Amino acid sequence: MRKKSIAHLAVGAGIFLSLLAVTPSRQRERTERSFRPNVPKTWDDAALADWATPVAGLNVRPTHMSEKEYYSMAVENLRTYPVYYPGRESRGYWEMLQHVGPKPLIEPEKLKSEADWIEAGRRVFDEVDDLHLRTFDPKLIAAARSRETFEAIGTQPYPDGTVDGVRWAPTKQGVALSIAGCKNCHLLTLPDGTRVPGAPTFAQVSRTHRFKYISPFIFPIHSANRVIPTATPFFMGSEPYGMWLYQAFGVPWEKDDIHERLKTATTDQGPAINRSALIGGGLPRWNGSPFYPTKVPDLIGIRDRKYIDHTATHLHRDIGDLMRYAALVSFAEPTDFGPYHVTSPDTKRVRARLSDEALYALALYIYSLQPPHNPNPFDRQAKLGQKIFEREGCVMCHTPPLYTSNKLTLAEGFTPPEDAPKTLDILPISVGTDPGLALKTRKGTGYYKVPSLKGVWYRGHYLHDGSAASLEEMFDPGRVKETHVPGGWSPPGTKTWAIKGHPFGLDLSAEDRKALIAFLKTL
C-alpha cells in the first residue's frame, strides 16, 4: 500500500510539473484569445455631435466634416523608411529603397493579440508621414542625400545614424521624400540621447538651445507642395502667401483681429513665424495662432485626461475620441465656425486618410506609453517640498495621484454662457495666465484645462504657451515684471516680457521654492 501511494504521488507530481511546464504558453494563448479588438468608427456623426467645445465669442461648436465625406477619402496604408545622415546608411540601403516598392504600414488581419496591435501602433507612430507632403522633386531628394545640406544648419544624426523629421516613402511612382507625422512633434530627445516617444519634441529647446535635430527640409517641402508649415491637411490656393496664413489663423468674428496683419506676410517670413513658437516648445497649428501659441502637449498619460488640447477643444471620453482627434489634426480639420468659412474656394483639402484600424492601433500605442526613468530622488528636500505642496493647497487643482483635477479654469475676462455643455467640469476661477489663446483664436473656448504635473521634470516648458522654460523660472517672482526676459516664448520682437498669471508659489521663501521644485521633479 505504501509503495502504491508513493507511486501515485510520483505520477501526480509528474502531471503537476508537466502542467506547470505548459502553463506559460497556454496562458499566452488564452491571453491572445481573450483580446478582441473593438475598433470604433473614427468619424461617427453621433459621436461628433457633442464632441467639440463651443468656440468663445460665437458660442457654437466648429462644424466638422460629415461622416459621409470623411469615409469618401481614400485610405492610405504605406510603410516609410528612415532618412540616414549622409554617409551613415548601410551599404545597399538606397538601392533597396528603389526596388522594395510600396509595402503596407500595418496588416490588421495578422494582428492576434493586444501586444500585436500595440506594436502595429508603434509602427504607425514611427513611420506615418504627412500624407500630402511627399515630394519627388529631384533637387530636394538630392539635398537629403548631401552632407552639406545638414551641415549648413548644424543638423546632427542620432547614434544609429538616422535623422528625424523626414522619411523615405517608396510608392508606385518611385521613392518620395516626406515629412514625418507623429514623431515630428511627439518624440523628445533627452540630453543623454534617450528618445522618449509621446513626450514633446521641443521640450528641451529653450533650455539647451539644441536645434540640432530639426530637419532642414520642413519649409522647402511645404513650399513644393503649396502647403504652409502648420501641419495642415490643405493644399493652398492661388492667393498670396499672407492670405494662406490668414486662412490658417484668422478669426473673422474677432474685433481688431491681430491675425489681419498676416495678410501682407511674405514667404521669407514663414520660418521666423514658426521659429518664434518653437522657442516655447510649440508650433502654430491650423486654427491656432503664431501670436498666441500653444506648446506641444505630452501624450504620456493622456489615457487619464478628460479633455484634449490646452483649451479643452474636445472631450476625451474613450479611445474613439483619441482616434478622432488624431484624424482631426492630420486630415480633417474644421473650416466652418458658425456662419464663418475660413478657407478660399480654391484651397483644397487632402483627400486621404488612415484606416480606422491604423488609428485604433495608434491610440492603443499612445495609451501604452510610459515616462522615462526619473533620475530625481524623493529625498529629504523633496519630502519637505511635498508638505509645502499640500500646505499651499496645490492639491485642490493638481490632485494626486494624477496631479490634476481634470477640471477647467476660466480664461481671464471670460464668463461661461448659461447654456455651457454639462460635459464641461468648470472651476469658477481664473489663474490669470495670458487669455489670448483661449479668447482670440479658433481654438479658443474660454477655458484652460488644469494640466497634470506628472512628468514636469522632462517636459521643459510651462504654462500653455511655453513662456516659462524651467520650474525655477516658473516660481521666480521676477517673471511677472515687465523687465523679465522669458526663457521660453515671448511675443515676436520683444526682449522683455512679463509672464503673468498662476501666482501660486511666487511668495514662498527661496528655501521653500527650492524644496517645492525638488518635489515636483520627482513626479
pLDDT value for 26: 52
Cβ neighbours for 89, distance < 8 A, ≥ 6 positions apart: 161
pLDDT value for 15: 38
pLDDT value for 324: 98
- Whether residue 408 contacts residue 449, with contact meaning beta carbons closer than 8 Å, is answered with yes
pLDDT value for 9: 40
Q: Which helix (H) or strand (E) holds 516?
A: helix 510-520
Q: Which is higher by pLDDT, 508 or 28?
A: 508
The torsion region of residue 506 among left (phi > 0), alpha (psi -120 to 50) and beta comes to: alpha
pLDDT value for 332: 94
SS3 string, 125-145, reads HHHCECCCCCECCHHHHHHHC
Per the prediction, the chain carries an average pLDDT of 89
> Mean pLDDT, to the nearest integer, of 514-521?
98
pLDDT value for 213: 53
Query: Lowest-pLDDT range, 7-11, 192-196, 482-486?
Result: 7-11
Sketch the domain layout of the chain as residue ranges: 1-34, 45-368, 373-406+450-523
Enter the pTM of the model.
0.90
Architecture per CATH, domain 373-406+450-523, reads as Orthogonal Bundle (1.10)
DSSP state letters, 44-112: -HHHHHTTBPPBTTTTB-EEPPPHHHHHTSEE--B--EEEEPTT-SPTTHHHHHHHH---BS--GGG--
Q: Write out pLDDT tens, residues 341-355.
A: 999 999 999 889 999
